[in-house]
Amino acid sequence: MHWLTALLLVAGATLGLSMVELPLSRQKLQWYAWHKWIGITIFLLTCARLAWRMGHPAPGQPESIPGWQRSAAWIAHAALYALLLLIPLSGWLYSSAAGVQVVYLGLFPLPDLVAKDKALADVLRATHVALNFTLLCLVCVHSAAALWHHFVDRDGVLKRMLPRPSILRAKDF
């Protein structure tokens, strides 16, 4: 789920940054729909991931990792999960306040979370953008820490995050 979420984040962010400047057109509306579908999917995956994590604790960190790094990793992961929930919610709230209903996958209309309100929509749009840039910064720190552990500390932390070849074999499904 980690890598699927990462791929969806890249796709959603690419659409989000690209669609805003497009003139009003069928393509722009389609990109907005895809962006929203990706956001809701990330929200659902994050909920599933958190539910799974409750019954399956993360593997322990190597003993060589200092306490401050363990604490920083815990805080960073908690912030990542929080942002993966808050960003789609802020987008949904923004759509609601803008008077544009979210229809997941073009099939499932989601209820408006707030009444149409242009002033609130402006605030929620700015919040959605700020949360996304916060996530970008945190993902950069997360990635840099993984690379540091791999290339400098050489402690195997990054290898634990990479997909295992056995996962990709058809016979294992």
Global confidence as pTM: 0.84
- Domains of the chain by residue range: 2-58+81-167
Instruction: Kindly report, residue by residue over 70-95, the tens digit of the pLDDT.
Output: 888 889 999 999 999 999 999 999 99
| Cα–Cα distances in angstroms (integers) from residue 74 to residues 61, 118, 173, in the given order | 11, 38, 31
The angle formed by the CA atoms of residues 85, 89 and 93, to the nearest 5 degrees, is 170
Buried b (16+ CB within 10 A) or exposed e, 14-28: ebbeebeeeeeeeee
Q: Which two tokens stand for residue 55?
A: 């019954």
pLDDT of residue 102: 95
